[in-house]
Every structure is written in C-alpha cells, then in structure tokens.
Amino acid sequence: MSERDLTDGFHLVVEALKRNGIDTIFAVAGIPITDLLRLAQAEGIRTFTFRHESSAGNAAAIAGFLTRKPGLCMTVSAPGFLNGMVALANATTNCFPMILMSGSSDRAIVDLEQGDYEELDQLNAARPYAKAAYRINRPQDIGIGIARAIRAALSGRPGGVYLDLTAEVLGSALDAETGRKSLVTVVDPAPPQPPAPASVARALDLLASALRPLAILGKGAAYARAEAEIRSFLEAAGIPFLPMSMAKGLLPDDHPLSAAAARSFAIGNADVVMLVGARLNWLLSHGRPPLWSEATRFVQVDISPTEIDSNRAIEAPLVGDIKSAFAALNAARKPGGIKRQAVWLDEIDKRKRQNIERMAARLNADPSPMNFSSALRAVRNALAGHPEVTIVNEGANTLDFARNIIDMPLPRRRLDSGTWGVMGIGMGYAIGAAAVTGKPVVAIEGDSAFGFSGMEIETICRYGLPVVTVVFNNNGVYRGDPQGLPYSPTGLIRGARYDKIIEAFGGAGYHAEDTPTLTSAVSEALASGKPALINAVIDPTAGTESGHIGSLNPQSALAQKK
C-alpha cells in the first residue's frame, strides 16, 4: 500500500469534526494535541488558543449555549485536562452542550501507575462531572466516538461530555478507505420532543383555574430559542413573567408583562407558577417559604423528566422541548380559556412602579467615588442603542446590581455566573461569545472575578476581538479593606490599575473615576470595535458581603449563643 492510501488519527479527528459542522476549537496547545490543532487550523477550523484551559473550556461551553452545537475544547493530558474539567463540570451544571477532548498518556503505563509523562486516569476522573465520558482506543473508532460525544452533549438535557483521545490513537495509521468509511455524520441529535397531548390539556386546565398565574423563564428557554412561541402564549393569556438571569431579554425586559421589578411579590402571591426551562434550585429558594407560598401549584416545562418534583410537587408536568411544548399549548389553547386576570396584573404593576421609584433615587445619585448603581447607570447609558452587544457579568455586587440595572432587549445576550455562581467565566465567555456571534461583548467584572481569568486579555488582544472589559475596582472581594490594615482575606491591592494590563498587549486602557468618563470610555471602546479594558474606580465601602446572597454564609452557632 502506498503512503497516499493511509490516514491517521489526527486527520480522522479533523475530518469527523468538519463533517459534523464543528467549525471552532478552543484550546491550549501541548503534547499530544499540538499537531492536531495545527492540522485543524490548516483545514479551516477556527482555532482559538488560550492562556488557561478553564477559559478555553468556558469559551467552548458558552459557544455551545449560543449555537446549539457542542462547543469544543481541547487540552493536553493530566493538568491541562483537570484545568478544563472545571469548565466541563460547569457546562454540565448549566446544561450547556460541550465536549472536552483531551489527549491522554499511554494506557498500559497509566493503568499500572508506572509514572508516565502527565499520567492520570482521565476517563474515570471525568465521569462524575460529565454528562457522559468516552475513550477512543482505536483509530477506526474515532468517527463513532465523536458521533457519540456530539449526540450525548446535545440530546435531551444538554451537558458536558468528556472524550479521551490517547496519544497512540492520534498517531496511529489506518488505511484511508477504512478511515473514510468509519466516519459518522450525526443526524438529528436533538429532535423535537413534543409533550403528550394529555399533559398539555392538564397544564392548560391548571392555568385556567389560576387567579394569579406567573411564568418563570429560565436559560433552558433561552437555549430552546422558543421566545416567539412563549411570547404568543403569555401575551394571549395575559400571564406575567419573571426572567431568570440568563433568560433576560427572551421577552424584552421592558415588556409590560415583565414582573421583574416586583419579583418577591409576584413569587410570593402567585397561585399557579409555570416553570419554563428553569429549575427550582437555590436560585429560586427551592420553591420554599418564606419566598414561596406552600399553596402555590406548578406547571413545569422541561426536557428532563427527572427534573419534575425535584423540589416541589409538580401538578402539571410538561416533559418535552420548550419550543414544541409552547407550540402545543398555543394550538390547544381555547380563546378565553385562560382569562386575563386584571386585578393581579394591576397589583403587579403597582408594585413595579413603587419599586422602580424607590430604586430611582439610588440609581440617579452621583456619589464620588462611584458606587455600583451609579457606575452601572453609566455603563447602561453607553449601551443604549446597542442591542446587539452581549453582556458577560460576574462578581458578587457587580453581578447582582448589573442584573437589575442593565435591561436586556434581546434573547441570549446576557451570560453570567449561572447555576454555580462561579467566578472565572468572564473572559472565556466573552471570547466564546465574540467568536461565535461576531458581535461586540461588554464584560462587566468585579475586580476579584476578573482576576480568575484576567490573563485572557492577551488572548482577546491576540485575536483582536471586540471585547470591552469593565473592571469594577473596589480593591477587594465584595468590598475593599479600610486603609491602614494588613490585607484581610477579602482584600486586594489598593489603587490597582487594571487598564495597564491591556496596554501591555496593545489594547486600549481607560481609567474612569466618574460617571461621564465611564460612559464615554464604554462608548468610545464599543465604537472602536477593538479590545479595551476600563478600570472603573468604585467606592471600597459600597459592596456588601456576598452581594445579595449574604444569608448563605454559615453563621457560627457559638456567636449566636452569645
């Protein structure tokens, strides 16, 4: 056989990816995947290489959420793999489709623990944190292995899949014809899954009995791209809605049916709640008092059958995909079957107005130094007229205030710390979003949060991505230390100039101590379409411990007794 009739693992992986429309890789290079990345790039797959695998993984995860194709991250063995695992676990937790493909060392040596270069039993290490985990041991299995990974990531509830590629498989030769025949094109990995008609009827009956209905929209609904169907249903039935943070913009935040500004009132007083791609987890206080009433009855629309009854009894489960479920609800709904509850809607409106008025004083104040509200108002003013911008947001106070102050007009434009409340997603999500949307990103970052992935500023500059990072610099985790003390566990260096970091890589740095400077910096940076970082100086006394979730800090039983 001549050499021309041979292929190898590297080529088969690249061919399998291309055949399945995976056109972007997020990675950190090294043994044994460097040549794989080179080949992928040469074959037209966009390849973004990072400074740390967590960020590469986060970029892949958010690309998966935004494109409904599995985001692909490639890492080297053992330590690179483990760095990427944090992102894979986070993707699984958030129901984002992602594949982490790692090179791995010699199986015979790893299994006898004989101390190979970067030795680790990666497959078993990945299993507990992934939706699925597979290893490809033979070059002729590459096609099927990648097909399984794609299908596992996308089908049902999306999640993170680990795919182990031994160095040996990558380098192995196979005759080209056998290789070509072994490749698989995945057909329809996430088909429509309409709920049963009886479930639809049951849900409609329960909603028709409600005097105070409420829909809670979660990021599963954003992922499902079901905004048109959801909107027609809620508008026709007059059901108010609350968006979870990454579902903001699914219906615009200024929609008259939005109950966001009356959140606790709406949750506490609703008699029937329709959960739409939102889990009743800690972010919704598990559906328990005091936020919730024990009398509330539930409809839940979710693709995962075992999500139902996880925290509260669900009277009307709608197991299926959200787009099909709402199409079915719209089709089965009888005109006037669910009556518009004017008293309830008026009550919500009254609360909204009161709360907005109460917030207005704080929002319009212009203290010096800036606080979270005033700085976010300044950012918001610069964002007006830029609905295409994706907002990435992490931190504690920076996250909580931004979620409330920055309205989202369009779906899937707000990406944040998500289900785990994780720090470190910032630059990875920003790069992933810029890479797949081709549109500008504004990352609103607490200074501590930024530090977790800050070196990716170099990555942003290297690829010239339109990412504007605003660091809310209050010299600390949650807040800054008072002057004169040694640094406390939450303190960070005082007077840091984060803007200098981006200047080191040729990007534009800005320093803003007041709101007009901050607004013009964001506007100018956005208009340039180039990488920028704005160091926004925030009053070190402005934040509160853990932001809005301070109550989750354990309290000492001893201290309480005193």
Q: Name the residues that contact ligand ADP, by CB under 6 A.
A: 94-95, 157, 218-220, 223-224, 244, 246-247, 277-279, 281, 283, 302-304, 307, 321-322, 419
Residues 460 and 416: beta-carbon distance below 8 Å: no
Least CB distance to ligand TPW at residue 401 (A): 8
By beta-carbon distance, which residue lies closest to ligand ADP? 220
Q: Which two tokens stand for residue 545?
A: 């411990």
Among 122-130, 180-188, 263-271, 473-481, which window interacts with ligand TPW (CB under 6 A)?
473-481
Q: Name the burial class of residue 542, with classes exposed (0-12), middle (13-18) and buried (19+) by CB atoms within 10 angstroms of its CB.
A: buried
Q: Give the integer Cα–Cα distance in Å for 553 and 461.
A: 38
423, interface contact from ligand ADP, ligand TPW, none, CB < 5-8 Å by kind: ligand TPW
Cβ of residue 279: shortest distance to ligand ADP, in angstroms?
A: 3
Q: Which among 210-218, 340-348, 474-482, 529-537 is the span making contact with ligand TPW, rule CB under 6 A? A: 474-482
Which part of the chain contacts ligand TPW (CB under 6 A), choosing from 47-55, 201-209, 282-290, 394-402?
Answer: 394-402
Q: What does DSSP assign to residue 485?
A: S
Cβ proximity to ligand ADP, 229 vs 302, nearer residue: 302
Cβ closer to ligand ADP: 185 or 304? 304
Q: Which stretch binds ligand TPW (CB under 6 A): 180-188, 200-208, 289-297, 472-480?
A: 472-480
CB half-sphere exposure, 138, CA atoms < 13 A = 9
x/- letters, 511..550, toward ligand TPW (CB under 6 A): --------------------------------x---x---
Find the shortest distance in angstroms from Cβ 496 to ligand TPW. 11
One-letter amino acid at 27 equals: A
- Residue at shortest CB range from ligand TPW: 446
Is the Cβ of residue 148 or residue 377 nearer to ligand TPW in the bound state?
A: 377
Largest CA distance in the chain: 84
In a 10 Å sphere around its CB, with 0-12 CB exposed, 13-18 middle and 19+ buried, how is residue 231 labelled?
middle
- Pick the closest to residue 248 from 114, 113, 394, 409 (CA basis): 409
Min separation Cβ 401 and ligand ADP, Å: 19
Q: How far is the CB of 243 from ligand ADP (least distance, A)?
A: 8
Locus of tokens 């079901």: 226
Read off the amino acid at residue 46: R
Nearest distance in Å: CB 539, ligand TPW: 11
Tell me if 226 contacts ligand TPW by CB under 6 A. Answer: no
Q: Give the residue with the Cβ less far from ligand TPW, 409 or 491.
A: 491
- Per-residue mark of binding to ligand TPW, 90-109 (x: CB under 6 A): --------------------
Q: Which is nearer to ligand TPW, 117 or 487 (CB)?
A: 487
Question: Is residue 477 close enough to count as binding ligand TPW by CB under 6 A?
Answer: yes
Q: Which is nearer to ligand ADP, 209 or 304 (CB)?
A: 304
Q: Is 400 helix (H, G, I), strand (E, B) or coil?
A: helix
Work out how close the CB of 237 gets to ligand ADP at its nearest, in angstroms, rounded to a whole number: 19
Q: Please say which residue, 251 or 508, places its beta carbon nearer to ligand ADP.
A: 251
Q: How many helices (H) and strands (E) does the chain have?
A: 23, 19
Residues 6+ apart with CB under 8 A from 164: 102, 104, 122, 123, 126, 133, 134, 135, 136
- Kindly tell me which of 526 and 542 has the beta carbon lying closer to ligand TPW: 542
Residue 419 binds which one of ligand TPW, ligand ADP, none, with CB within 5 to 8 A depending on kind?
A: ligand ADP
d(CA 283, CA 362): 25
Is 395 near ligand TPW (CB under 6 A)? yes
Encoded tokens for 59: 């970029």
Closest separation between CB of residue 285 and ligand TPW, Å?
Answer: 18
- Looking at the Cβ atoms of 24 and 92, the one nearer to ligand ADP is 92
Contact yes or no for 276/227 (Cβ under 8 A): no
Distance in Å, CB of 384 to ligand ADP, minimum: 25
Q: If we measure between CA atoms, which residue out of 443, 490, 452 comes closest to residue 471? A: 443
- Which of the residues 428 through 457 are near ligand TPW (CB under 6 A)? 446-449
DSSP letter string over 112-133?
Answer: TT---TT---HHHHHGGGSSEE
Query: Of 419, 394, 396, which Cα lies nearest the Cα of 277?
Result: 419
Residue 156 in contact with ligand TPW, rule: CB under 6 A: no
User: Could you tell me which stretch among 4-12, 242-250, 353-361, 390-398 binds ligand TPW (CB under 6 A)?
Assistant: 390-398
Q: In what order do the strands lie in the sheet with 390-394?
A: 414-416, 390-394, 441-446, 467-473, 532-537, 508-512
Q: Residues in contact with ligand TPW, total (CB under 6 A)?
A: 18
Neighbours of 559 (CB within 10 A): 7
User: Could you tell me where the DSSP H helices lie in 257-333?
Assistant: 263-269, 322-332
| CA-to-CA dists, residue 327 to 88, 206, 217, 330, angstroms | 32, 18, 16, 5
Q: How far apart are CA 299 and CA 202, in angstroms?
A: 9
Q: Which does 474 bind (CB under 5 to 8 A by kind): ligand TPW, ligand ADP, none?
A: ligand TPW
Nearer to ligand TPW among residue 117 and residue 420 (C-beta): 420
Binding flag, residue 423, ligand TPW (CB under 6 A): yes
CB of 176 to ligand TPW, least distance (A): 45
Considering the complex, what minimum distance in angstroms separates the CB of residue 159 from ligand ADP? 9
Phi and psi, residue 193, nearest 5°: -130, 80
Give bridge partners of residue 7 from the DSSP assignment: 174
Question: Whole-angstrom Cα distance, residue 277 to residue 247?
Answer: 9
Q: CB of 111: closest distance to ligand TPW in angstroms?
A: 32
Residues near ligand TPW (CB under 6 A): 395-398, 421-424, 446-449, 472, 474, 477-478, 543, 547
